[in-house]
Homo-oligomer: A and B are copies of this chain.
């Protein structure tokens, strides 16, 4: 933390800050510049998290130096995290694929999809039981029955299940059926939910919020980790920008950035990230080329009849091509499919 004083700050102003910091048990370094004085704060920044130093006389602004997250950062844990669920690893050389329909609609839909996915080596069956939808008049999901249908299909095929949780109630239901929780973009800063999930030891796919910086996203992970659950898989799924051609702007730079500043694995969701099925395959290739540890993709046996997000879902044919193309890219950048 650096405290930048105003050009007209007095000696007393500076002395005042110095005393506050020393009382808090922090070290102080003062640099008197040609136009301003700056004060370097040494020690655990959390000691001053709740002291509004900006308001002290003579202070212009505070400049953070150390990132606010700790457990999620590579400084804290230099080696990359690999999450193991049964015999699947996330974050190791082999890519992971999570695929399935946006929403669970019926036994037939989900079992048909699961069998197809298994035949292509996919490890995770995804499907929404609770669907956060912008309008209350859209299909909202089958709730617990959705989780149950996923578990049934998983049992029959040997796939693992990933599904979104949206509330304490849904966590209590899902815990019986799913292997990995998903926290959706709209809940990335639902701190109650983050804490609840942190108290379980079930791995979590944590999607980036529509308007979240990378730092805020890692802080959301920090909420979960701070409760004891370290099994977090970050998921870039597009941010909101002025561009209207795509549903969101998929920020693939987040992939190498996360790899640099965090030890957590990261996957990419090109379906929500673009909102258009015909962009999913090129952006999947790009995500893997950028260094992602895997993908989460919407696949539906018949997108035309899907109850939600049909326009961004692949069918079995187009998913077949995606797998083939992604596998080729993986092969030349030191990954495996």
Contact = CB atoms under 8 A, between A and B. Distances in A.
Interface stretch (A48-56, A120-128, A149-157): A48-56
Contacts of A304: 52, 55-56
Given A33-B43, A49-B135, A134-B219, 17 more contacts: A29-B31, A29-B32, A33-B42, A56-B304, A63-B65, A132-B191, A134-B189, A140-B191, A167-B168, A167-B192, A215-B245, A241-B241, A241-B249, A252-B286, A256-B283, A282-B290, A332-B332
A307 B239 CA distance: 31
Q: Lowest 8 CB-CB distances: which A-B pairs, in order? A: A52-B310, A211-B211, A29-B31, A31-B40, A289-B289, A328-B332, A286-B290, A285-B289
A285 to B, nearest CB: 4
A210 B211 CA distance: 7
Contacts of A189: 132, 134, 186
A31 B63 CA distance: 15
Nearest to A249: B251
A150 to B, nearest CB: 20
A50 B310 CA distance: 9
A86 interface: no
A119 interface: no
A216 B242 CA distance: 12
B329 A52 contact: no
A132 B260 CA distance: 28
A135 B222 contact: yes
B246 A253 contact: yes
A205 interface: no
A54 B310 contact: yes
A108 interface: no
A242 B213 contact: yes
A138 interface: yes
A245 B2 contact: no
Interface in A242-290: 242-246, 249-253, 255-257, 260, 273-274, 277-279, 282-283, 285-290
A322 B39 CA distance: 33
A68 B137 contact: yes
Contacts of A52: 303-306, 309-311
Nearest to A223: B136
Interface string A63-75: 1011011000001
A243 B138 contact: no
Nearest to A170: B192
A138 B50 contact: yes
B49 A137 contact: yes
Contacts of A274: 253
Interface string A34-51: 111010111110100111
Nearest to A279: B256
A187 interface: yes
